[in-house]
C-alpha cells in the first residue's frame, strides 16, 4: 500500500494504516527530538506527542508537501515549544552571536581549523549532543532537520515556515558555531551558562 493510501485511510480513522506510517517515520521524528533535547526520555515523549498531533490532523493533510516534511513541522514545533517551556523553568542556552561576520573571523593560520580535533572531540556522542544543546534552538532545529535524510533548504523552510535564505543562514551559522564549540573557541562565560547537556537516560 503506498503512502498516499495509508494517509487517506488514517485520515478516516484507520489505526493500522496510521501505525504503518508511524513505523516508517518514527525514527526520523525520534532523532529530531533527540538532537533537539539531548534527552532520550524527552525524545520518546515528544515523539509520542508529535504522532498524537499528527493523528488528529492527518485528515487535514493536503498532499501539497511531502508527508515527512509535514511531520517534521509538527515535530519541530513540538520540540521548540517544549524547549521554550524548559527555558521558562530556568534552563538557559548559549547566547546567539548575531554578527554575520562571525563566520569569517578566523584567520587563515588558525590551528583550530584542524578537522582532526573535531573528529576526536565529536567521537563522544554525548559531546555532540551537548554541543547541539548549546546552539540557539532555531539554529539547532534547522541543522537537525538538515541531518535528517538530507532534507533540502526548501523542505526545511516549509517545515519551519521560514524563507529558504533563513534556513541557509541558520544552518551555516549553526555549523560554524559547532565547529568552534568542538575546537574550544566558545568563550568561557557563554559556555558556563549551559546548564543542560549530554544525553539523559
- Whole-number minimum distance, CB 4 to another protein, in Å? 16
Contacts with another protein by CB under 8 A: the residue count is 76
Kindly identify the residues of this chain, within the stretch 4-23, that bind another protein according to CB under 8 A: 13, 15, 18-19, 22-23
Residue 39's SS3 state is: strand
What is the grid cell recorded at 65? Answer: 508537501
178 lies in the site for another protein, by CB under 8 A: yes
Kindly identify the residues of this chain, within the stretch 128-167, that bind another protein according to CB under 8 A: 128-129, 132, 143-144, 146-147, 150, 152-153, 158, 161
- Tell me which DSSP letter residue 17 carries: H
Residues in the chain, overall count: 201
- Whole-number minimum distance, CB 53 to another protein, in Å? 4
DSSP state string for 85-120: HHHHTT---PPP---GGGGG-S-TT-GGG-HHHHHH
To which H or E segment does residue 131 belong? helix 125-133
From candidates 80, 166, 185, 196, binder to another protein by CB under 8 A: 80
Taking the CB of residue 78, how many other CB atoms lie within 10 A of it?
A: 24
Q: Are 68 and 28 in contact (CB under 8 A)?
A: yes
Q: What binding mask, one character per residue, do residues 24-63 give for another protein by CB under 8 A, x or -?
A: --xx--xx--xx----x--xx--xxx-xxxxxxxxxxxx-
d(CA 35, CA 43): 8
Q: Given the complex with another protein, which of 183 and 189 has the nearer CB atom?
A: 183
Q: Given the complex with another protein, which of 62 and 192 has the nearer CB atom?
A: 62
Segment near another protein (CB under 8 A); pick from 1-9, 90-98, 107-115, 189-197: 107-115
Q: Given the complex with another protein, which of 40 and 194 has the nearer CB atom?
A: 40
Amino acid at each position: 500500500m503506498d503512502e498516499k493510501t495509508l494517509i487517506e485511510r488514517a485520515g478516516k480513522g484507520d489505526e493500522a494504516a496510521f501505525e504503518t506510517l508511524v513505523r516508517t517515520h518514527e525514527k526520523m521524528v525520534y532523532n529530531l527530538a533527540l538532537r533537539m533535547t539531548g534527552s532520550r526520555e524527552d525524545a520518546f515523549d515528544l515523539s509520542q506527542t508529535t504522532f498524537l498531533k499528527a493523528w488528529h490532523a492527518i485528515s487535514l493533510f493536503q498532499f501539497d508537501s511531502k508527508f515527512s516534511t509535514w511531520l517534521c513541522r509538527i515535530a519541530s514545533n513540538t520540540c521548540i515549544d517544549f524547549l521554550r517551556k524548559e527555558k521558562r523553568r530556568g534552563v538557559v542556552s548559549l547566547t546567539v552571536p548575531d554578527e554575520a561576520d562571525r563566520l569569517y573571523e578566523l584567520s587563515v593560520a588558525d590551528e583550530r581549523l584542524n578537522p582532526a580535533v573535531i573528529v576526536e572531540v565529536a567521537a563522544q556522542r554525548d559531546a555532540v549532543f551537548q554541543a547541539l544543546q548549546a546552539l540557539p534552538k532555531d539554529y539547532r532545529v534547522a541543522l537537525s532537520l538538515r541531518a535528517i535524510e538530507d532534507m533540502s533548504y526548501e523542505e526545511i523552510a516549509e517545515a519551519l515556515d521560514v524563507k529558504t535564505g533563513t534556513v541557509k543562514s541558520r544552518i551555516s551559522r549553526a555549523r560554524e558555531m559547532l565547529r568552534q564549540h568542538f575546537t574550544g573557541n566558545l568563550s568561557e562565560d557563554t559556555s558556563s551558562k549551559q546548564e543542560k547537556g549530554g544525553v539523559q537516560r
